[in-house]
């Protein structure tokens, strides 16, 4: 459910209380572990965390006018989604990188409900189902400069791959 809210406070205010409490708990964990080069914004109808143009002028390759997205939190119809692009960048096809494998192992070790994870999306229904400490640690493990390096490496690889396909 994409929101038309333009501020984080407005987004939170439109949520039902139980969902707001869950989103606020995830938000606090992210903010407590976020590198200072990231900023919190509203993007794509959800709470987003990105690297602003002042730190990474090139912006997001899909839309250079947008800052480089790193993570996001959204209230969907049936669950909360936490998008952790910082984990996923660098994965090739179905092959997961060491950060994703660490995340899966840490979640399993947390004793929380079984991990429901897509490529970069973690889904859960209630705050008690979420391994908040694992989410926080995953954010902390990827400072902005490391994320930029990995992002640029992936872009360079994809550009060289697309050139080979054209040849």
Report the relative pairing of strands 121-124 and 116-117 from DSSP bridges.
antiparallel
**Backbone φ and ψ of 139, nearest 5°:** -70, -45
> Is residue 1 situated within a structural domain?
no
CA–CA separation, 54 and 23 (whole Å): 28
Q: Which residue has the tokens 């947390």?
A: 110
Strands (E), the chain: 39-43, 46-51, 68-75, 80-84, 116-117, 121-124
Range(s) of the domain holding residue 133: 8-166
User: Would residue 160 count as lying in a domain?
Assistant: yes
What is the reported pTM?
0.90
| Res 96: pLDDT | 81
pLDDT at 163: 46
Q: Are 43 and 72 a contacting pair, CB within 8 Å?
A: yes
Number of domains in the chain: 1
Residues of the chain with pLDDT under 70: 1, 90-94, 159-167
The answer to whether residue 99 is domain-embedded is: yes
Residue 2 covered by a domain: no
- Measure the CA–CA gap between 56 and 14, rounded to whole angstroms: 32
Residue 43 belongs to a domain with what CATH number? 3.90.1150.200
């Amino acid at each position: 459910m994409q929101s038309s809210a333009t501020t984080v406070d407005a987004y939170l205010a439109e949520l039902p209380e139980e969902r707001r409490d869950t989103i606020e708990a995830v938000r606090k964990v992210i903010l407590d572990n976020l590198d200072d080069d990231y900023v919190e914004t509203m993007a794509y109808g959800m709470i987003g965390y990105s690297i602003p143009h002042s730190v990474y002028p090139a912006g997001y390759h899909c839309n250079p006018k947008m800052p480089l997205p790193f993570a996001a939190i959204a209230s969907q119809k049936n669950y909360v989604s936490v998008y952790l692009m910082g984990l996923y960048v660098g994965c090739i096809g179905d092959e997961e990188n060491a950060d994703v494998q660490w995340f899966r192992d840490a979640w399993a070790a947390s004793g929380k409900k079984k991990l429901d994870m897509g490529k970069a999306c973690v889904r859960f229904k209630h705050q008690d189902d979420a391994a908040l400490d694992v989410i926080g640690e995953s954010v902390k493990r990827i400072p902005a400069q490391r994320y930029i390096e990995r992002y640029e490496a992936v872009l360079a690889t994809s550009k060289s791959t697309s050139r080979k396909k054209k040849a």
